[in-house]
Chain A
Amino acid sequence: MTINQLSIFVENKAGALGEITHILAQENIDIRAMSIADTKDFGILRLIVSDEEKAKKALQQNDCIVSITEVVGVAISDEPGSLSRVMELLYTNGINVEYMYAFITISKQYAYVVVRVEDNNKAMKILETNGVKLVDKEDIKNL
């Protein structure tokens, strides 16, 4: 099962990011994980939040461009080499990673990582058959 990520367009200008976090704060939205891709002109803010539909609505009402993207959440054991193993599994099976980032919150046992690939189902199947634990929407809620 995939998890939902909010993707938000951020214009490259002062205060743009602050406006977005302000809207989320007002709506009482909890941010679980985040990453920013930036180019010279614009950025894309990617968030895993407590309530993505509510967040999307609030942002759109404030003229933000938002989309919800399905991404794969991977729980890797918090020890050296586990991320490397996941990457190797994806690579050897011909799956390219568009981008990835880690969760801010970590459980005692696992580190959560968001992975964006072309074919979610294929990636999830490979990871699961190789014993990698996936993060689902319930896990996110329970963070």
Chain B
Amino acid sequence: MKYWQQEIECASREQITEWQNERLVNTVKRVYENVPYYRQRMDEAGVKPEDIKSIDDLSKLPFTCKQDLRDTYPYGLFACDMEDVVRVHASSGTTGKQIVAGYTAKDLDIWDDICARQLAAVGADKNWKIHVSYGYGLFTGGFGFHGGATKMGAMAIPVSSGNTARQITILQDFGSDVLCCTPSYAMYIAETMEKMGIDTAKLPLKAGIFGAEPWTQEMRLQLEEKLNIKAYDVYGLTEIMGPGVAYECSEQTGMHVNEDHFIIEALDPDTGKPVPDGEPGEIVFTCITKEAFPLIRYRTRDIAVLSHKQCSCGRTFVKMSKPMGRTDDMLIIRGVNVFPSQIETVLLNMGYAPNYQILVDRVNNLDTIQVQVEMTDKLFSDTVTEISKAEHAIEEGLKSLLGVAADVKLVAPNTIARSEGKAKRVIDNRKK
């Protein structure tokens, strides 16, 4: 099976736009009537539901931010009667209150469908065994794929996360066809199997659906080799639905956004204006079919690139790239967008530990970027020539990936603060 709902997944652009127009108008009307918070925000912005006639009017609507969700915690943005809510999920919220998302029976049905679309896109059908190692609980990962598998008529194996030895036994004995988990956990499973001397070529496993955290193309290739599978990316967030908001197909060049349920925008994070295809922008979603928790123009803070190019898989939904970073940490250096994650990639690829700090400054009206890297035993030599060579290699690596020249400065080990929780990676002195 290639598609789950072919007539939708391969619909014409006109058809998709028609669905979006109608559903957006209805959703806006509904949230204005049912959610005081939205009504107030729209009134403040001077927008009435009647002003929204099609998706061309989308930009008239105010954004919804994470803070709005916190301010209305836990149920303040629910747009249906509480008696119709049949489930809630929540995101862990490392930096504040957790975010609570509600679902009606119809919402869950749609979620099952979009997860089934992802499963079908990697080759699953009702004969497949779906190994779900995402956590089951308030986190959306486990239940999302579980529902998709069940709706497809495939066999769900609700292993949930943890207990790697048991995961491996199940992969071997139950004959899982597809593994759904985070890419880092997949890597851990793969490495454990390697240590145990298990030949992955003998496992029936064919595919992996890996999401919920950033991962690189290098990691994809490694996972594909180690597990003898095809590794697919999936995008989702609790606020919008959970996994399956966007799903990767056989082309493996980005994820199709389920446009019949979500309108995606890629915007310049500073101006809020749309960026063209191929240019990084902040991803903003509007839910147009959800009953319980339909967020309007929700700013994800994820930065990605959109592509409306015809995909070889036949699907017509727009594709989004793997998020390349977050607006929280994006830097603009001489007009070029730079993400700390890119710098980390260069260091990791060259075998260094990701202990770095980025210092941005402006000298004679020119942005400068210095990357401080902690000296390691590997990098160290007793001759200046060798160290300079290594330093230069990092600079070359950074320049080719970032597109701007960065100065590398080697510093003593353990001098870059490993602060409580999240490391302070960037010091931007231009703002002083």
A5 to B410, CA, bound (A): 22
Interface check B383, CB cutoff 8 A: yes
Interface check B11, CB cutoff 8 A: no
B-chain residues with CB within 8 Å of residue A99 when the two chains form the complex: 383
Closest chain A residue to B415 by CB distance? A11
Task: Classify the interface of chain A: helix, strand, loop or mixed.
Answer: strand
**Contact (A37, B411) CB under 8 Å given A9-B375, A65-B375, A67-B377:** no
A65 to B352, CA, bound (A): 14
Interface-side segment among B55-63, B253-261, B318-326, B384-392: B384-392
A44 to B379, CA, bound (A): 13
Interface check B162, CB cutoff 8 A: no
B-chain residues with CB within 8 Å of residue A116 when the two chains form the complex: 382-383
A37's partner among B377, B384, B391 (CB-CB below 8 A) is: B384
A9 to B377, CA, bound (A): 10
Interface check A69, CB cutoff 8 A: yes
A71 to B391, CA, bound (A): 24
A98 to B409, CA, bound (A): 23
**Contact (A67, B382) CB under 8 Å given A9-B375, A44-B387:** yes
Q: Is there contact, CB below 8 Å, between A46 and B382?
A: yes
Name which of A37, A41, A64, A116 has the most chain B CB atoms within 10 A of its CB.
Answer: A41
Q: Is there contact, CB below 8 Å, between B412 and A39?
A: no
A5's partner among B375, B382, B409 (CB-CB below 8 A) is: B382
B-chain residues with CB within 8 Å of residue A42 when the two chains form the complex: 375, 387, 410-411
**Nearest chain B CB to A59 CB, angstrom units:** 11
**Contact (A65, B384) CB under 8 Å given A9-B375, A42-B375:** no
A63's partner among B381, B384, B413 (CB-CB below 8 A) is: B413
Interface check B73, CB cutoff 8 A: no
Q: Is there contact, CB below 8 Å, between B409 and A41?
A: yes
Please, what's the 1-or-0 string for B344-382, where 1 marks a CB less than 8 Å from any CB in chain A?
000000000000000000000000000000011100111
Q: Is there contact, CB below 8 Å, between A63 and B382?
A: no
A42 to B372, CA, bound (A): 12
Closest chain A residue to B376 by CB distance? A65
Q: Is there contact, CB below 8 Å, between B382 and A65?
A: no
Q: Is there contact, CB below 8 Å, between A65 and B377?
A: yes
A116 to B386, CA, bound (A): 14
**Contact (A11, B411) CB under 8 Å given A39-B388, A65-B377:** yes
Interface check A100, CB cutoff 8 A: no
B-chain residues with CB within 8 Å of residue A64 when the two chains form the complex: 412-413
**Nearest chain A CB to B382 CB, angstrom units:** 3
Residue contacts A-B, CB under 8 angstroms, 20 given: A7-B380, A7-B381, A7-B382, A9-B412, A10-B412, A11-B375, A11-B410, A11-B411, A11-B412, A16-B412, A39-B388, A41-B391, A41-B410, A42-B375, A42-B411, A63-B412, A64-B413, A65-B375, A67-B380, A98-B385
The 9 residue pairs across chains A and B that have the minimum distance between CB atoms: A7-B382, A11-B412, A69-B382, A63-B414, A65-B380, A9-B375, A65-B375, A63-B413, A37-B384
